[in-house]
Amino acid sequence: MVVALCLGATGVVSEAATAPQPQTTLLVLGDSLTWGANYFAKTQTRLAATAQFEAVLVDGWWSRRIGGIISTTYSGANTYKKLVSNGAQPTAVIVALGTNDVFFLKRKREYATIIRELMDAIGNVPVVWLTVHRVESPTMVARSKVFNATLTRVLTDYPLASIHDWVSVVQKTPTAMAFDKIHLSPLGSEIRTRVYLELATSLAQRASDMTSTTTTVVPTTVAPTTSLAPTTTIGLVTTTVVP
């Protein structure tokens, strides 16, 4: 059974009194690419339908970056901390961030700092991080390559982290990109959702393997639900988990 929880106006997780607390929770933490995938290809509904996790939370927001900024909404690291403080305890995470960071930052050490900030916030759970693909200008192409190389290097310090080569996926299907060469077309959103589904299967097994080696399982809760918001660079997605 997949548990549906709601995030109220106060930002506090509420749950029906009779609903059991989920012990496995998948979080997809992203930006407008994640928002678009959920809007056009029903990411949250389809992830929940697989029943590989007892709770699923898809959280995307326009212009969201990895970290390094004070704002909670626009910082992936701060968003993660807020979700946890409101009751979410992800047992597996898909990170789909970095698209906006390569616009504002260009140095390896800057990328390394914010990647570590988010990874340290996530802690000791399986993580898959998608590579960044921006091709609207030579500068963005170059920065994306530097970011992806830095991501590969930094994640070697996190044994539970892995990388999914999103760049190769998009390069095989150029029509996956929208006209602005940043966002995704409806086809691209479908492809992105299928990638999330594949990654969820892998993460479910990895999370299960970790649980089987421990003597205690800590109950977890999650604060899903997102509302649709207009998106220019990165958009919000919080939807109720569908059984």
Structure-block tokens of residue 111: 């990328």
Kindly report the pTM of this predicted structure. Answer: 0.81
Show Cβ contacts of residue 16 under 8 Å, excluding neighbours closer than 6 positions: none
In whole angstroms, give the CA distance from residue 193 to residue 77: 23
Instruction: Indicate whether 102 belongs to any domain.
Output: yes
Q: Is residue 243 part of a domain?
A: no
Instruction: Report, in angstroms and rounded to the nearest whole number, the Rg of the chain calculated over CA atoms.
Output: 17
What pLDDT score does 2 carry?
Answer: 52
Dig out the tokens for 63 from the structure: 């212009």
Dist. CA 207–CA 212, nearest whole Å: 9
Examine residue 206 and state whether it is found in any structural domain, yes or no. yes
| Residue pLDDT tens, the chain, 243 long | 454 343 333 233 434 334 566 789 999 999 999 999 999 999 999 999 999 999 999 999 999 999 999 899 999 999 999 999 999 999 999 999 999 999 999 999 999 999 999 999 999 999 999 999 999 999 999 999 999 999 999 999 999 999 999 999 999 999 999 999 999 999 999 999 999 999 999 999 998 888 765 434 333 333 333 332 333 333 333 333 333
**How many other C-beta atoms lie within 10 A of the C-beta of residue 186?**
15
User: What domain count does the chain have?
Assistant: 1
Query: What domain range includes position 151?
Result: 6-11+26-212
Assign residue 98 a region: left if phi > 0, alpha if psi is -120 to 50, beta otherwise? Answer: left
- Residue 163 maps to which CATH number? 3.40.50.1110
DSSP character string of 67-135: SSSS-STTBHHHHHHHHHHTTB--SEEEEE--TTHHHH---HHHHHHHHHHHHHHH-SS-EEEEPP---
Q: What is the pLDDT of residue 213?
A: 57
> Is 239 part of a structural domain of the chain?
no
Strands of the chain, DSSP E: 6-7, 13-14, 25-30, 55-60, 92-96, 127-130, 161-164
Within a domain: residue 122? yes
Residue 21 lies in a domain: no
16 located within any domain: no
Residue 88 within any structural domain of the chain: yes
Among 178, 230, 223, 235, CA closest to 3 = 223
Distances (CA, A) of 24 to 70, 191, 221: 29, 25, 9
Contact 148, 199 (CB under 8 A): no
Tokens of 172: 């095989």
